[in-house]
Structure 1
Amino acid sequence: MSLFRTLVLALCAASAAVATPALARPAHRPANEVARLAWDDRPRDQDRAFRAQREGRSMPLPQIERKVIPHMGGADYLGPEMRGSNVRMKFLDRGKVIWVDVDPRTGRILGKSDD
């Protein structure tokens, strides 16, 4: 095995060993813990989007992207985020950020805003 490959494998193993405890989540919470909002207890965008798609309240993201991106005149697509019940897509056109709000049921553009 080459020295480079050995170093890469050792680095990957060390990274995994260091990162694993940080990603671990406690198996249970103390019984006397007061109800609180914790960052890791909030529904994440991808979880909300998955549930909406599964329940028929949203079409799959690739399908939404195929409907919206052609209408953006060559602007670079940077990615989606959930915005309430809508999907907000971020584009960059000549150094200007453009947010596009989309109805996730139909893929119809609801509005555009420049930041």
Structure 2
Amino acid sequence: MTMYRTLLAAAFAVGLFGAPALADPPRDADRAFQAIRQGRSMPLPQLERRVIPFMGGADYLGPELNGDAYRFKFMQNGRVIWVDVDGQGRIIRRSRDR
């Protein structure tokens, strides 16, 4: 009986706390989609094709959406390199992890 109550409480908690997260789409992703749709930003694959060739052979680890810009993560010689890119493919900032 105790195990049944524990499982029921866990299921209730997942439903209670998980539902709001599923109901709200990420705002940054929605904003990015709207910018692409309205022609103010390029799609992510196109931005990647513009930036990756300038990274001198660094390994591309993936993107993050950072407000109105994308942050691309690279690794080179054991160091992390972050490259912030606007929707038109211009590099805004480049930083290295120390």
TM-score (norm 1): 0.60
| Alignment equivalent of 1:63, drawn from 36, 42, 46 | 46
Matched, 1:72 2:72: no
Which structure: greater strand fraction?
Answer: 2
Look up the match of 2:6.
none
Aligned residue-pair number: 81
SS of equivalent to 2:74? strand
* Structure 2 stretches lacking a partner, 5+ long: 1-14
* Structure 1 stretches lacking a partner, 5+ long: 1-24, 30-37
Matched, 1:91 2:79: no
**Greater RCO (CA < 8 Å, at least 6 residues apart):** 2
Look up the match of 1:112.
94
- Once the two structures are aligned, what percentage of the paired residues are identical? 62
The whole-number CA distance in structure 2 between the counterparts of 1:80 and 1:43 is 15
Which structure: greater helix fraction?
Answer: 2
The whole-number CA distance in structure 1 between the counterparts of 2:53 and 2:43 is 17
SS of equivalent to 2:81? strand
Matches within 5 A, 1:1-115: 38-40=20-22, 41-43=24-26, 45-104=28-87, 106-115=88-97
TM-score (norm 2): 0.69
